[in-house]
Structure 1
Amino acid sequence: MENWRPGSFTKNFSWGSEQGFAKLHESIRLGFDSKLEDVTRDAFRKRLAGFASEYIPINFFLFNRPRNGTDYIMVDELVFQAITAKHSQRFDKLALFAFNFSYVGIFKGAQSFQRRPALWATAYVKERLARQYDWDAERVSADDIEEFLLSEPRYVAQTARKVATNLAHLYKIGRVADLRGDRIDRWWVDALFLALDRLIEDQRLEGESLPESEYADFLMRSDFSAVSGRRSTEKDLAIKHLVRLYTACGGPNRFSDEAVEARTKILIRDIENWVAPNDPAPKGAVHPTNSKILKSIPPACAMLAIYAGFQVISSIDLDEFDADKFIREHTREALERLKQEGIEPTMSAEELLKLTRGE
């Protein structure tokens, strides 16, 4: 049994009540200097001096790992969304997922429990909110969280009240109530990518490399589905498409233009002299089977997304994506292709209706 310890989560932090995780969003931008490049932990902390407490972002939301004796904070999906998109409710829910998933790596001076510092929150979501309350967030409160923690022998801290009030506050501004939906949402798609980023990097800390062929199975064995909202058939079917997109784009290496360029030339051999596009704006990748399977990706990944079976759209279309319009246009294009190939229906609409009614 692994003990739960709150660590620095008992510290006071003021992120407001109306702006969601806006302060975290800005903290990430400041800490990374608005660049998709790994940053040293010390540099991140210095850049946040005078703006916000750095302990909550770097100890509970971001991923840390040592490299050549220096602690770094890694670029992953949460950082990508903070730097390439303005603050939104979608970011808030992704950030809340990152907290509940609770994989933050290791750094100098960290104790073993700090590798997954919020397992008490992971358990609260899995065992209380999901299993007992069926995702009814109306039943979530500081009192309920405190009672849950104090009733658990896994929780070994001397106090639970401050942890409970802080967590209840995060759940409010992070819109935990939205986890009840069973339809695919863009934050959930982003969360899947983030989960894989963290799982793969966590394996690397052990000196192990997770084969691409095992990404989907490893994801399903993790806490991803347990803490990312109500499970559904639609979500389960989307996972295989999204894991294929994640893998095609290079997984955690998708933020490196050089790595993506090399991968593109290997996988798509009919492309000669391929270079990364100059436009730095993210592209959108939407799957033709379900317009809700929509993912923002680094622009260099566009050809790889097509290779994975996705349709790529511009950053403008991504921001203003109309699912109904996409379905209509996709259907019209499919019918046009059938017409050009000389394929015609063999029964009338009336005959088809009779068939579906069992007449």
Structure 2
Amino acid sequence: MATNIPNTDIWRPGSFTKNFSWGSPSAGLSELHSIIRLGFNDEMKDVPRHEFRTRVRSAGRPEYIPVNFFLFNKSIGGVDHLCADELVFQALNWDHSPRFDKLALFAFLLSLAGRWSRARREQRRPALWANAYVRELIAGKRNWETKGISADDIERFVRADPRYQAETTRKLATNLNYLFIGGRLKEMNTTRIERWWVDCLFLALDRIIEERRIDRLATPPSEYADLLTDYGFLELTGPSTLEKRLAIKHLVTLYDACGGRGRFSEDATKERTLTLVPDVQFFVKNDPRPRGAVHSTNPRVLKSIPAACAMLAKYAGFNDLSPDDLEEFDLAEFVKRNTQAALDRLKQENIEPSMTAEELMKLMRGE
């Protein structure tokens, strides 16, 4: 399959070597969180790039790094826009948190910024040195051992690589190390599925599909999982495990059922619901807050979705969680409650075991 991944031969830092002015890294990426809310005016819809920049600049905030490295750009009707995708969805609907920090760092590492007027070719993938540092060194050679990460380590990496074509290395290295601390890179070194990881998968698909649309490439759902592999999703989000690889299949199904980035449009979601679930009335919720979709085979596969997507999530094999249940979700309690419900159903249907526990153990031992 030809993925047509944008050029990766040249690394240029661009405005990344400027002073961020984002405060202490101990505050995480809270500045980016507030900048996104400000620039999008708390509305979950694509915004003209010049409007976003004007709002942010008028508030005395730095706008170059957010629009050129963290958000996705595309032309709509000949006007440059910033896309409302999973990163924006999380920023607008939840307060700043470590979960947002890791999602935002992933957006930066994925390094898909789209295209805008007068942008150079290499700006479509503006942070490939960071992408390569994590994929090739941290994930590839060090198996996600993060103890050695530092500005000095980053500087040695870019200096030794012929793909990096710029005179400055120190400021880039210190800025990237700042992002790794604020974005909690070391916390991404986990074998378990966590909610930020699930959010990252949706964001990756949002960006990859929009990137391909710029080049007029169709992206059928059958290619989603392969594209995640091609763009290094697993390498960029911690150690690869069987649990994560199995979860990708379920999450790709959910993403497709919800209509991709169309999940943020209630009209598009309504049309899709009536198409996929024609025997059910469109699911209208009085509570506009996002809901949860949790997979029955693994409750760690939990995704926050727009309220209108509830029926589509059920169509994809996920259980629906109310906004309050989503916020207060307790993994152990969920497993206990669902196990008890399954046992109660078996009892109601008069289904009983056909062998004793001792006989079962003998069978398991091959006796």
> Could you say which TM-score interval applies, normalised by the shorter chain?
over 0.9
Residue equivalent to 1:106: 115
CA distance in 2, matches of 1:180, 1:275: 38
Query: Does 1:129 pair with 2:112?
Result: no
Letter in 2 for 1:356: M
Q: Is the 8 A contact 2:283 2:311 kept in 1?
A: no
Residue equivalent to 1:141: 150
Query: Does 1:160 pair with 2:169?
Result: yes
Query: Does 1:2 pair with 2:6?
Result: no
Q: Which ranges in structure 1 are unaligned for 5 or more consecutive residues?
A: none
Letter in 1 for 2:50: D
TM-score with structure 1 setting the length: 0.97
Which of 67, 71, 82 lines up with 1:62 in the alignment? 71
CA distance in 2, matches of 1:151, 1:302: 50
1:184 positional shift: 0.3
Letter in 2 for 1:317: D
How many aligned positions are there?
A: 358
1:242-298 deviation line (CA, Å, top 9, x unaligned): 0000000001110000000000000001024x2542321000000011110000000
1:97 positional shift: 0.4
Which of 327, 344, 348 lines up with 1:336 in the alignment? 344
Letter in 2 for 1:93: K
Q: Is the 8 A contact 1:19 1:173 kept in 2?
A: yes
CA distance in 1, matches of 2:285, 2:318: 18
CA distance in 1, matches of 2:244, 2:180: 23
CA distance in 1, matches of 2:230, 2:345: 41
Query: Does 1:230 pair with 2:239?
Result: yes
Identity of aligned residues (%): 55
Letter in 2 for 1:36: M
Query: Does 1:52 pair with 2:61?
Result: yes
Which of 317, 330, 336 lines up with 1:322 in the alignment? 330
Q: Is the 8 A contact 2:35 2:56 kept in 1?
A: yes
1:188 positional shift: 0.4
Deviates most, 338-347 or 232-241: 338-347
Letter in 1 for 2:360: L
Letter in 2 for 1:42: H
Query: Does 1:85 pair with 2:94?
Result: yes
Query: Does 1:205 pair with 2:205?
Result: no
1:358 positional shift: 4.3
CA distance in 1, matches of 2:138, 2:221: 32
1:300-342 deviation line (CA, Å, top 9, x unaligned): 0000001100001111111110011111111111112222222
SS of structure 2 residue aligned to 1:231: coil
Letter in 2 for 1:237: L
What's the RMSD between the two structures over aligned residues? 1.2
1:144-164 deviation line (CA, Å, top 9, x unaligned): 100100100000011111000
Which of 224, 230, 233 lines up with 1:221 in the alignment? 230
Letter in 1 for 2:225: A
Residue equivalent to 2:18: 11
1:49-88 deviation line (CA, Å, top 9, x unaligned): 2342101100000000011111000010000000011110
CA 1:350/1:51 → structure 2, altered by over 3 Å: closer, same or farther?
farther
Residue equivalent to 2:5: none
CA distance in 1, matches of 2:343, 2:226: 36
SS of structure 2 residue aligned to 1:126: helix
Residue equivalent to 2:34: 26
1:125 positional shift: 0.3
CA distance in 1, matches of 2:283, 2:190: 40
CA distance in 2, matches of 1:221, 1:8: 27
Q: Is the 8 A contact 1:261 1:276 kept in 2?
A: no
CA distance in 1, matches of 2:32, 2:361: 54
CA distance in 1, matches of 2:136, 2:26: 28
1:10 positional shift: 0.5
CA distance in 1, matches of 2:284, 2:13: 44
1:98-132 deviation line (CA, Å, top 9, x unaligned): 00000010001100000000011000001111122
SS of structure 1 residue aligned to 2:204: helix
CA distance in 1, matches of 2:293, 2:160: 45
SS of structure 2 residue aligned to 1:65: strand
1:213 positional shift: 2.3
